[in-house]
């Protein structure tokens, strides 16, 4: 079992706080975005992976309509009524659970409240999607408790709606689908127009360094939403000038962008070029992986970060410093920011045999916390029979 010490700690804290064992426990991992930045809400393509850091969510029925939720690291409890769920203005971490519960409750009326606690080890603000890990673990556990049938896409959409309406971030579905669909040693290629995904093998000698810059980011402060608005403005422009249907930037090629970008403000045109280029890089990257060309794939990662830095404006000095250092370290094949940007983590591709040396070199060159990770399994219900 991944992260069993956290599972055991959560079981102990749950029993001490609520006086009984949970009736359902679910686990969901964070994710690393490997290629395809801000393409999900532009109906494009992404390569991502679930990681071996995640969140457990434990829950049991109670005899009232009150929902009690405890953050296991803080041991802080909040409450809300099962029939009157709304975004919270304080202890805003609860909004990811409140919104997920509201989405499930819309499918089936909640006949009772619950007692719940969550605990995980995805670093907050690191760009590894601790929020999606919480939403998906809560979604799986609450669906089990209330007998609500869901599938991966439905649950991902419930988590996305929680982000939009409760947390205030107009995110795509990348984080939720990645958390649900992960497989060991494989990347997830997701087509966000069709909401279809498949796994792509990386070969036995590839792993990632996740470099947390300690530059904390928050995507609910408006910057993420403004980037999305720029993409939507650009898509509307291209729909008006191109001779084929355009419903999102996925429908625009870089060649078309070069010819038809005039008429857009320069900054909006630049913002649009990033996800258009990212879509092309993802499709090229899939072919390179099939050919076993990890060096070529890594070069696309470096290109991706440069596009984020120059065109999209979602990098920062700390992220740029790590990527620049990575370029000079033998054994690092590629590196780029991972996730929404504005802080958080850099993901670097290395051969497994080079991971230790490359980690030490990066740690010496930049002030960041580095973890060696391989793609891991996705979200699941935990076996309650593992109680100590």
Tell me which residues are annotated as active site: 175
Alpha helices in 123-196 (DSSP H): 130-146, 152-162, 174-181
Q: In the 8-state DSSP scheme, what is residue 64?
A: S
d(CA 215, CA 343): 5
β-pairing verdict for 345-351 and 206-212: antiparallel
What secondary structure letter does DSSP report for 123? P
Query: What is the DSSP secondary structure assignment for residue 166, as one 8-state letter?
Result: I
Largest CA distance in the chain: 66
Runs of H (alpha helix) within 19-129: 95-105
CA–CA gap between residue 248 and residue 365 (Å, rounded): 40
Q: Which of 342, 362, 339, 358 is nearest to 350 (CA)?
A: 358
Structure token digits, residue 82: 């099962």
Cα separations (Å) of 356 from 205, 264, 275? 13, 46, 33
SS3 of residue 134 by DSSP: helix
């Amino acid at each position: 079992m991944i992260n069993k010490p956290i599972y055991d700690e959560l079981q102990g804290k749950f029993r001490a706080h609520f006086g009984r064992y949970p009736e359902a426990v679910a686990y969901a991992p964070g994710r690393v975005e490997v290629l395809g930045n801000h393409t999900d809400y532009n109906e494009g393509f992404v390569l991502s992976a679930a990681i071996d850091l995640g969140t457990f969510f434990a829950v049991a029925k109670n005899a009232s309509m009150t929902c009690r939720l405890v953050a296991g690291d803080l041991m802080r409890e909040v409450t809300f009524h099962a029939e009157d769920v709304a975004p919270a203005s304080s202890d805003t971490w609860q909004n990811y659970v409140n919104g997920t519960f509201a989405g499930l409750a819309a499918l089936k009326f909640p006949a009772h409240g619950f007692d719940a606690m969550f605990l995980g080890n995805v670093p907050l603000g690191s760009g590894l999607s601790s929020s999606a890990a919480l939403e998906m673990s809560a979604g799986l556990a609450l669906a089990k408790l209330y007998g609500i049938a869901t599938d991966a896409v439905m649950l991902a959409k419930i988590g996305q709606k929680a982000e939009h309406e409760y947390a205030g971030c107009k995110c795509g579905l990348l984080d939720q689908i990645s958390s649900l669909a992960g497989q060991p040693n494989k990347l997830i290629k997701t087509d966000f127009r069709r909401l279809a995904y498949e796994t792509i093998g990386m070969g036995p000698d590839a792993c990632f360094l996740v470099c947390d810059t300690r530059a904390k980011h928050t995507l609910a402060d408006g910057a993420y939403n403004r980037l999305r608005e720029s993409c939507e403005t650009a898509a509307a422009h291209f729909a008006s000038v191109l001779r084929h249907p355009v419903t999102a930037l996925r429908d625009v090629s870089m060649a078309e962008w070069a010819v038809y970008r005039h008429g857009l403000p320069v900054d909006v045109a630049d913002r649009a070029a990033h996800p258009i280029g990212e879509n092309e890089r993802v499709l090229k990257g899939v072919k390179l992986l099939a050919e076993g060309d990890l060096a070529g794939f890594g070069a696309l990662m470096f290109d991706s970060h440069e596009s984020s830095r120059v065109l999209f404006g979602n990098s920062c000095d700390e992220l740029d410093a790590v990527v620049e250092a990575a370029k000079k370290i033998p054994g690092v094949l590629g590196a780029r920011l991972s996730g929404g940007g504005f802080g958080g983590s850099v993901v670097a591709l290395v051969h497994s045999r080079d991971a230790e040396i490359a980690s030490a070199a990066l740690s010496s060159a930049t002030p960041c916390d580095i973890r060696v990770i391989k793609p891991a399994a996705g979200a699941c219900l935990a076996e309650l029979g593992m109680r100590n």
